Structure 1
Amino acid sequence: MPAGPGPLVVVLLLSLLLLVAGIHGRLQHEEEEEEEEVQDQEGGSSSFTLPVWAPHVPESGEERREHFRALMAKDMRRMMRQVPELMSKTDMFELPMRSALNIAQVGMYVVVVRIGTPALPYSLALETANEVTWINCRLRRRKGKHPGRPHVPPAATTMSIQVDDDGGGGGGSGGKSKVTKVIMNWYRPAKSSSWRRFRCSQRACMDLPYNTCESPDQNTSCTYYQVMKDSTITSGIYGQEKATVAVSDGTMKKLPGLVIGCSTFEHGGAVNSHDGILSLGNSPSSFGIAAARRFGGRLSFCLLATTSGRNASSYLTFGANPAVQAPGTMETPLLYRDVAYGAHVTGILVGGQPLDIPPEVWDEGPLGNDNPEAGIILDTGTSITYLVSAVYDPVTAALDSHLAHLPKAEIKGFEYCYNWTFAGDGVDPAHNVTIPSFSIEMAGDARLAADAKSIVVPEVVPGVVCLGFNRISQGPSIIGNVLMQEHIWEIDHMSTVLRFRKDKCINHQQLNRHHKKASSSSSSSSSSPPPYPAA
């Protein structure tokens, strides 16, 4: 017979059973006590409290700036993640972009966007400091429903624009007027199956900027009236539309949920030289935010030289753009200035020498927008760089000291102009002229170093150059597209970082590889003429 378990084994087993029974009893007792406590609470008070501590805010100015910038970055990441990406395997799309200076004699950049169903091309002016995307619109007039355009144009109209030879309507001394022709395409909501107009009764309408709704009537269109800083006016109705874009693999995809202003009235500025505005501003209603939220929270654009030929093309990109990450890329914290984007400036150098500028001119405050008149913003819709007097005076004085020996010229819209034919690199020994270096220093050791043709505007009229700066009575100061040209710029909402570096913007492989495929695919669905054909 096999031997039974020894006394030691029996003792161990009994101990283990007692231990398990004790633990079970304790757990059951705790559960009963918890139930009794909950019942007591139900019979008495119906609430409980937990302590909450306010976050620690640093005292020093620089630490407070970094603290609030981190909070804004967190909020922006939350907003960007609320909308899923358009396609799990798609990380970017691009839109072709050109300078309009040699096309329609206006100092802006136009982006070709295909909007509606079927998708039709529209040439829209790129604006980083605007929140409303609008298109010249033709509506069927319905009394009492929404405004209509008094003159009903055809789908595409050749417009004759009269401009002056002083650089696009400047009214320069002795400048001759000339007429240029551009083709404008009209957006017609009735012919787009994807158009959905907003009504005044909808909450979405009330959240849109510049809306002029006065009645909650469900059948009343959500109307708007916008007056821009340059006094340009646009008004019409809001709706939701889709854009057709060429994604990374070259295929065409729909980008939904875009807020579009169907403009029935435009006045001022250069409204006759493009089909509308493409807004990239920091607002949920802007095209830039709507597209970036679906493509990683990043957008970038490469600005060709403003004087580039009419067939030269660069690009506007949404998503990760490999071209941004290259040697020489600068990074600086991105500041949100209302709907515009800015950076914290630490100084300006001319000829390598720092200028005497009061530091409070650049002090936006810890939140980056506490002092709305301080600091500087980027605006691709503005050509010349506008500076407040405390900055403009030392900048122009330093630059004029290198050009003061040249004969002065009187040109409307500019204070400092000279009779001199611009040399390509800004160096002309025959006339003892060397355009000095000019750079804007920013937080994070970033530096925007401008070329000579960005410091002075060549050939404002034949044989005359002008300093590319103007005075602005109220801040913030504005970096215009002349100073931004021949750079690639990236706005990274996820990291709240502004990146930029020098780039001629003429050799972009991604655009060259897929643009033909996208164009051929979309042209089959539209007989509309190409934007800006030869006159």
Structure 2
Amino acid sequence: MQMNRKLMQWSTQILMTLLLIQIIHVHSMNNNEEDHEEHENMEKMSLELIHRHDSRFLGEVDQVEAIQGFIKRDMNRREMMDQRIAMNEGYNNRRKDIEMKQDFEFSMHSGRDVEIGEYFVGVTVGTPGQKFWLIADTGSELTWFKCMKKVHHNHQHKHKHNKHKGGSKKKSRTKSHTTTRRRAHSHNPCDDAFCPHRSHTFHQISCASKMCLAELPYCLSDCQSPSDPCLYEVSYGSGISSAVGFYGTDTISINLSNKKIGKLQNQTIGCTQSVINSPGFPYENVGGILALGFRHHSFVDNAGLKFGSKFSYCLVDHLSHKNVSSYLTFGTAPKVKLLSEIKRTDMLLYQPFYGVNVTGISIDDQMLKIPPKVWDFDAGEGMIIDSGFTLTALVLEAYYPVVEALKKSLHNVNTINDPNNGGLEVCFDAEGFDESVMPKLVFHFGGGVRFEPPVKNYIIDAAPKTKCLGFLPINGTRNSIIGNIMQQNHLWEFDIYKNTIGFAPSPCH
């Protein structure tokens, strides 16, 4: 009897345990379904990516001039990127606890027509709102707008450069070129500039504040009074192109997917009062920069906290016709059509840039002989994904193997040696060129992930009836760059919290 009683007790305990496991399993499944439904029902905040062919921008330029402009800009940008990397060396990768809430999107268009390769977004800032076209740039961490020269201090023309935090000392400048060009169809009462004094949500950041003294980049040491603004100067290549202004916070308004207006409040922005220009520096033609690089107080940092930890974009073809656009999305559920599932690989946050773990490059499934150190960030090299760089730049140890392997398939075309190609070394007559016989280029990323761009992303149109290999050589020990032409017609997703980069082919509409 005692044995039977024990068996009954054991049986009851087993049944209760199994029942409890089943309840936990069902509860977990229900929670997962609820989480999935909540995830699918998140709102999106969006901006349209705008092509420079769009009628809202300047007219077309000659294709040769456009390519030359691309390359000039890339060379300047290369110098700027070196400065950013040097400034941020030793800065540890940062990952924040980010609360997932909503999504948002920006519409983006490309910038082929005025000698630049950037993509642009329309952004509304301030209360009441003032709208501007900004360059969407994954290589910048400071979002700034061109501003009216009306600030509440009396020394806006006195910039001391003897203490440029986070970077090298700056030489004093005695002359600067202030942008005054006005667009033909301006509806901005401040002459296409942001008027902070017209926005009742704008707050100036003091030069004596903790943000200015320790947290914000590019700050100048000019602080004659605690009430004076926090000044900055950010350089864009060799110190010959720069933007000078003061920091503040304001509200940025965006369209949500439910047709409502979303607000990013207390967004740190730069109010640029003067731009020192150099050839190829495009910022006189736009309202500023929407910085997509990651740093504390950056746009990505603030948007991530409110709308989700990830952002994505899909770049339209740089030769697209007018009014062709796609979207820059903050949050989940990209709006564009995907031609295959998103592949994901580890992201290496190389502030403010987004690096990817490259394991090699192959041509027609033959892995090229490229030293592993070329892809090693710890060795000062590695690969960066950059929407602001037009072409794809490779250090010489990777450039020559790639170019030589691709040249082998071009034996039936007439090569062209034309200095007007702006530094592209391998160009040929497009007549008789058969894209279908070109070998397949593959970038191999960590985890066995393969990025296989279409031929038109690396055999580019440089001039009428002229095609070129779309690669630039880089001298020395530096980062290689996957530029925006190589990225086009793909969705790219950057997940700051999970430290992943995802991509998938897409028509970007």
- Normalising by structure 2, we get a TM-score of 0.71
Residue 479 (structure 1) aligned with residue 482 (structure 2): yes
Work out which of the residue numbers 329, 342, 345 in structure 2 matches 1:317. 329
Work out which of the residue numbers 230, 236, 244 in structure 1 matches 2:245. 236
3-state SS of paired residue (2:415): coil
**CA distance 1:139–1:495, shift in 2 (3 Å):** same
Would the aligned equivalents of 1:146 and 1:220 in 2 still touch at CA under 8 Å? no
Residue 253 (structure 1) aligned with residue 262 (structure 2): yes
The equivalent residue for 2:108 is: 97
Work out which of the residue numbers 180, 187, 212 in structure 2 matches 1:205. 212
Residue 340 (structure 1) aligned with residue 366 (structure 2): no
The structural deviation recorded for 1:323 is 4.9
**CA distance 1:152–1:229, shift in 2 (3 Å):** closer
Q: 2-side partners of 1:394 and 1:117: how far apart?
A: 54
The structural deviation recorded for 1:141 is 6.4
**CA distance 1:152–1:303, shift in 2 (3 Å):** closer
Post-superposition CA distance 1:361-402 (Å, at most 9, x none): 1123xxxxx33x221011101101111111111111111222
Work out which of the residue numbers 207, 218, 224 in structure 1 matches 2:226. 218
Q: 2-side partners of 1:447 and 1:493: how far apart?
A: 21
3-state SS of paired residue (1:401): helix
The equivalent residue for 1:376 is: 383
- Identify unmatched segments of 5+ residues in structure 2: 1-91, 159-175
The structural deviation recorded for 1:322 is 4.5
Work out which of the residue numbers 419, 439, 442 in structure 1 matches 2:429. 419
The one-letter code of the counterpart of 2:255 is A
The structural deviation recorded for 1:105 is 4.3
The one-letter code of the counterpart of 2:324 is A
Task: Give matches, 1:131-530, under 5 Å.
Answer: 131-140=141-150, 144-147=154-157, 157-158=183-184, 185-206=192-213, 207-215=215-223, 217-229=225-237, 232-266=241-275, 267-268=277-278, 269-323=281-335, 327-364=340-377, 370-371=378-379, 373-404=380-411, 405-410=413-418, 411-421=421-431, 426-427=435-436, 434-458=437-461, 460-473=462-475, 474-506=477-509
Q: 2-side partners of 1:341 and 1:283: how far apart?
A: 11
Larger radius of gyration: 1
The equivalent residue for 2:16 is: none
The equivalent residue for 1:43 is: none
Moved more, 120-129 or 480-489: 120-129
The equivalent residue for 2:80 is: none
The structural deviation recorded for 1:214 is 3.5
3-state SS of paired residue (1:76): coil
Post-superposition CA distance 1:63-105 (Å, at most 9, x none): xxxxxxxxx99x6143x35xxx6xxxx5211111111214x34
The equivalent residue for 2:44 is: none
3-state SS of paired residue (2:410): coil
The structural deviation recorded for 1:273 is 2.9
Q: 2-side partners of 1:184 and 1:468: how far apart?
A: 38
Q: 2-side partners of 1:357 and 1:274: how far apart?
A: 40
Q: 2-side partners of 1:347 and 1:384: how far apart?
A: 19
**CA distance 1:95–1:105, shift in 2 (3 Å):** same
The structural deviation recorded for 1:217 is 2.0
The structural deviation recorded for 1:451 is 1.0
The structural deviation recorded for 1:111 is 1.1
Task: Give matches, 1:118-129, under 5 Å.
Answer: 118-129=128-139
The one-letter code of the counterpart of 1:76 is R
Q: 1-side partners of 2:368 and 2:179: how far apart?
A: 55
Q: 2-side partners of 1:152 and 1:378: how far apart?
A: 30
Would the aligned equivalents of 1:296 and 1:494 in 2 still touch at CA under 8 Å? no
The one-letter code of the counterpart of 1:344 is N
Aligned residues: 387
Q: 1-side partners of 2:399 and 2:221: how far apart?
A: 41
Would the aligned equivalents of 1:488 and 1:505 in 2 still touch at CA under 8 Å? yes
**CA distance 1:229–1:151, shift in 2 (3 Å):** closer
The one-letter code of the counterpart of 1:470 is L
Q: 1-side partners of 2:152 and 2:493: how far apart?
A: 44
The structural deviation recorded for 1:152 is 8.8
Moved more, 439-448 or 210-219: 210-219
Would the aligned equivalents of 1:201 and 1:216 in 2 still touch at CA under 8 Å? no
Would the aligned equivalents of 1:377 and 1:478 in 2 still touch at CA under 8 Å? yes
The structural deviation recorded for 1:462 is 1.4
Would the aligned equivalents of 1:490 and 1:498 in 2 still touch at CA under 8 Å? yes
**CA distance 1:217–1:331, shift in 2 (3 Å):** same
The structural deviation recorded for 1:215 is 2.7
The equivalent residue for 1:76 is: 95
Q: 2-side partners of 1:486 and 1:402: how far apart?
A: 24
Post-superposition CA distance 1:473-510 (Å, at most 9, x none): 2411111001000110111122111111001112xxxx
Would the aligned equivalents of 1:118 and 1:192 in 2 still touch at CA under 8 Å? yes
The one-letter code of the counterpart of 2:183 is T
The one-letter code of the counterpart of 1:298 is K
Would the aligned equivalents of 2:394 and 2:474 in 1 still touch at CA under 8 Å? yes
Q: 2-side partners of 1:487 and 1:152: how far apart?
A: 35
The structural deviation recorded for 1:333 is 0.8
Q: 2-side partners of 1:465 and 1:152: how far apart?
A: 35
Q: 1-side partners of 2:449 and 2:154: how far apart?
A: 55
Post-superposition CA distance 1:341-365 (Å, at most 9, x none): 011001101122111101121123x
The one-letter code of the counterpart of 1:297 is S
The one-letter code of the counterpart of 2:361 is I
The one-letter code of the counterpart of 2:318 is T
Would the aligned equivalents of 1:127 and 1:281 in 2 still touch at CA under 8 Å? yes
- Identify unmatched segments of 5+ residues in structure 1: 1-71, 160-182, 365-369, 428-433, 507-535
Q: 2-side partners of 1:288 and 1:475: how far apart?
A: 25
The structural deviation recorded for 1:421 is 4.6
